[in-house]
Amino acid sequence: MYLVTGATGNVGREVTGQLLQAGEKVRVFTRDASKVAHWGDRVEIAVGDFTDQESFRRAAAGVKGVFLMNGILDNGVFRKLVAAAKDEGVERITFLSSAAANHPELLMGKLHKDKEDAIRESGVRGSFLRPNGFMSNTYQWGKNVKADGVVYNPMGSGRFAPIAPEDIAAVAVKTLTDGESAGEILELTGGELIDVPEEVSILSRILGKELRCVEITTEAAAQGLVQSGIPEHVAKAVAKTFETVREGQAAVVKDTFEKLMGRRPMTFEEWAKKHASRFA
């Protein structure tokens, strides 16, 4: 039995599905059971909240491994979750971290690195997935793409190698179910360098719709995040990651996925074709 947190998210949903496809038993931890009802009796549902340590403890009881999201920014709360998992005999935790953890001097890096350290210090075997950006981040474009065919771009022509949630999930499942892969820092990227204007061009071709890519400042992007409900300090930290891409510091391709999974990761075009309905 494996416990999946964030099962309604882009990665957690894929982790749940891929574990089931592999014949594993799955329990999902959620605040709202109705949001995972589509799994039917294929999964066990544990209702609770990260801020309620006892609900998480009950969810972790009897499971071999946990896929843990970075959903809580309060490090004290996160440590309690990890302690509860350890108390329940969880053997391994796969934590969805970030490439930002390579730079703990930055706020976004510190938020992730501190949580990795909490798992390390607990004594539970941990695997730390550090993706360099999700292809599904482009879902944020959906509203403007549908309304007026515009994508606002705070990253300029900076190139990076985003990875598909499906591929992140495949690595997560492997680390949970294969003890030989556990206990590693896994830096994950897609297999190609691309910039936002190129992504927009690809999406435009797939949708058969003219799209404009409008460059904006990282400050304007941060303001937009705040207006969407993200706390200001988090919005500023995210905007800082936009700056690293704009400045060319994210132009890195890692072969971690291919070495671990024995196949190439999805290209952005392959992923966008699969999910085109989200933008149409």
DSSP assignment letter at 34: G
| CA 175 remoteness from chain centre | 15
Three-state secondary structure call for residue 2: strand
**Token code pair at residue 134:** 């999700």
- Phi, psi (deg, nearest 5) at residue 72: -115, 125
- Whole-prediction pTM value? 0.94
Q: Do 125 and 183 contact (CB within 8 A), yes or no?
A: yes
Q: What is the pLDDT of residue 202?
A: 97
Q: Do 203 and 277 contact (CB within 8 A), yes or no?
A: no
Q: What is the pLDDT of residue 51?
A: 87
Measuring CA to CA, which residue among 175, 195, 198, 197 is closest to residue 185?
Answer: 175
Q: What is the pLDDT of residue 153?
A: 95
- Phi, psi (deg, nearest 5) at residue 90: -60, 130
CA distance 133 to 145: 20
Non-local CB neighbours of 198 within 8 Å, separated by 6+ positions: none
Q: What is the pLDDT of residue 216?
A: 93
Non-local CB neighbours of 202 within 8 Å, separated by 6+ positions: 268, 269, 272
Measuring CA to CA, which residue among 224, 227, 197 is closest to residue 212?
Answer: 197
Q: What is the pLDDT of residue 72?
A: 59
Q: What is the pLDDT of residue 163?
A: 98
Q: What is the pLDDT of residue 270?
A: 98
Q: Do 28 and 4 contact (CB within 8 A), yes or no?
A: yes
pLDDT in tens, the chain (280 residues): 999 999 999 999 999 999 999 999 999 999 999 999 999 999 999 999 988 889 999 999 999 999 998 875 576 889 999 999 999 999 999 999 999 888 888 888 888 999 999 999 999 999 999 999 999 999 989 999 999 999 999 999 999 999 999 999 999 999 999 867 656 899 999 999 999 999 999 999 999 999 999 999 999 999 888 888 888 888 888 888 898 899 998 999 999 999 999 999 999 999 999 999 999 8
Task: Provide the b/e sequence for 173-184 (b: ≥16 CB within 10 Å).
Answer: bbbbbeeebbee
